[in-house]
Chains A and B, each alone.
Chain A
Amino acid sequence: MKNIEATVRSLRTEPPHGLEMRTLIGAGAADQVTTIDSPFGPVWVGWSIRGVTGLTPRFACETVDDFLEIHRRNAYPADTIPRDLEDRIEDALVRGATMDVPVDLRGIAEFQRSVLSMCATIPPGTVRSYGWIAERLESPGAVRAVGTALGRNPIPLIIPCHRVVRSDGSVGNYAFGPEMKRELLIREGAILV
Chain B
Amino acid sequence: MLVDDLDEGFSHMVHVFQPGIYSGAFRLIRHPQDAQEVAQDTFVRAYLALERYDSERIASLQVRPWLWTIALNLCRNRATRAKPTTPLPSEDFVATTDEEPFDDEEWNARFALLPGPQRTAVVLRHIVDLPISEIVAITQRPEGTVKTDISRGLARLRKILEAEETT
Contacts and interface: CB of A to CB of B under 8 A. Distances in A.
Is the pairing of A and B real?
A: yes
Nearest to A21: B14
A19 B7 contact: no
Interface in A1-55: 1, 4-5, 7-17, 19-20, 22-24, 26-30
B40 A19 contact: yes
A1 B27 contact: no
Interface stretch (B17-25, B54-62, B75-83, B134-142): B17-25
B116 to A, nearest CB: 17
A110 B154 CA distance: 55
B122 interface: yes
Contact of B36 (A10, A12, A19, A29): A19
B90 to A, nearest CB: 11
A11 B22 contact: no
Contact of A29 (B11, B94, B102, B158): B11
Main secondary structure of the interface of B (DSSP, over half): helix
A82 interface: no
Given A1-B161, A4-B161, A10 B43 contact: no
Interface string B72-113: 000000000000000000011111110110100001000000
B26 interface: yes
A23 B127 contact: no
A12 B11 contact: no
Given A12-B127, A19-B22, A1 B162 contact: yes
Most chain B CB atoms below 10 A, which of A13, A16, A73: A13
A168 B44 CA distance: 49
A20 B7 contact: no
Interface of B: 6-8, 10-11, 14-15, 18-19, 22-23, 26-27, 32, 36, 39-40, 43-44, 46-48, 91-97, 99-100, 102, 107, 122, 126-127, 129, 154, 157-158, 161-162, 165
29 contacts: A4-B157, A8-B127, A9-B126, A9-B129, A10-B97, A10-B100, A11-B27, A11-B127, A12-B95, A12-B97, A13-B22, A13-B94, A14-B19, A14-B22, A15-B18, A15-B22, A15-B36, A17-B91, A17-B92, A19-B40, A23-B18, A23-B44, A24-B10, A27-B44, A27-B46, A29-B6, A29-B14, A30-B7, A107-B7
Interface of A: 1, 4-5, 7-17, 19-20, 22-24, 26-30, 73-74, 107
